[in-house]
Amino acid sequence: MNYDQLLSVARKQAEIGAKEGGVPVGAALFDAEGKLLGEGRNRRVQEDDPSIHGETDAFRKAGRQTNYRDKILVTTLAPCWYCSGLIRQFNIGTVVVGEAVNFPGHLDWLREAGVNVIELRDPECIKLMAQFIEQRPDIWNEDIGECEH
Amino acid sequence: MNYDQLLSVARKQAEIGAKEGGVPVGAALFDAEGKLLGEGRNRRVQEDDPSIHGETDAFRKAGRQTNYRDKILVTTLAPCWYCSGLIRQFNIGTVVVGEAVNFPGHLDWLREAGVNVIELRDPECIKLMAQFIEQRPDIWNEDIGECEH
């Protein structure tokens, strides 16, 4: 499986999100053969909806699947607890992470639960996220539940 | 705070879900004074959307909040990993659980993260869920990611 190719789908979603002024995290769900089932992006800002992270959006867009064990969730950024919980609850077999530099997530927690975690260090994903965190720390902190007020 | 009264709001949502033929889990988010911010229910069946659990729906309906530390999430059933992750990521301070008999959830994991977990043993919540699991084990297993096929 060409994980970089799968990542490009998620990264395109993140880039759309960046242009929209949103949190630039994109994700996509694929079947075992690499067929795209659903793609999405964080839309906290665009839809004023804190429940739409990239991963949950891609999961949603893929519709009801009876089994996720053989599915591949690709995300541009390491998943937060909310999205890690989604992965673990539905037993998503493989998670491809574009980068875990700007946000480390909980990759070991996923690995301990038997998830096949593939960590890439995609320069474009790193750059996109770093720029956003620098420009809009307020939205970023809100998105990861770290607002101080 | 009268937690049984708060639970009645979530339970009403679960009852609506049951009448719709859906997974009967309801939830509601309140502020520190007990003011309702959002209520919702599992709508996997109704909207063919596996991302809408009771807790995520109530969270969504409450809109963007800058801080969840002083909020109270009330749910008729112990939260799954997906919803536990939501609680932990956004630092929701208090979680009231209608019942943890039909599904134990991960209450200790939440407590270890500093969440104030209040476990009720509401007979109506227990009955509603037990009936659903008996009648529709297929949907229930799908909802908790335990389909065998």
- What is the residue type of B130? A
CA distance B17 to chain A (A): 18
Model confidence pLDDT, tens digit, residues B67-118:
999 999 999 999 999 999 999 999 999 999 999 999 999 999 999 999 999 9
Kindly tell me if the per-residue pLDDT of B147 is higher than 80: no
Positions of A annotated as catalytic residues are: 55
Element (H, E) at B14: helix B3-19
Cβ B67–A147 below 8 Å, yes or no? Answer: yes
Cβ A48–B66 below 8 Å, yes or no? Answer: no
Joined together, the tokens standing for residue B118 give: 């209040």
Kindly tell me if the per-residue pLDDT of A149 is higher than 90: no
Torsion angle in degrees (nearest 10) through CA of A56, A59, A60, A64: -140
Cβ B85–A85 below 8 Å, yes or no? Answer: yes
Q: Which residues on A lie below 8 Å from B50 (Cβ)?
A: 59-60, 63-65, 90
Handedness of CA A59, B56, B24, B129 (dihedral sign): positive
The size of chain A, in residues, is 149
What's the mean per-residue pLDDT of chain B?
96
Q: Where are the domains of chain A?
A: 3-144
Could you give the CA distance from residue B43 to residue A130 in angstroms, rounded to a whole number? 36
CA distance A50 to chain B (A): 6
ipTM computed for the complex:
0.95
3-class SS of residue B41: strand
DSSP string, B96-130: EES--SS--TTHHHHHHTT-EEEE---HHHHHHHH
Joined together, the tokens standing for residue A99 give: 């980068």
Q: Which residues on A lie below 8 Å from B56 (Cβ)?
A: 51, 56
Nearest Cα neighbor of A13 from A23, A27, A2 is: A27
Q: What is the CATH number of domain A3-144?
A: 3.40.140.10
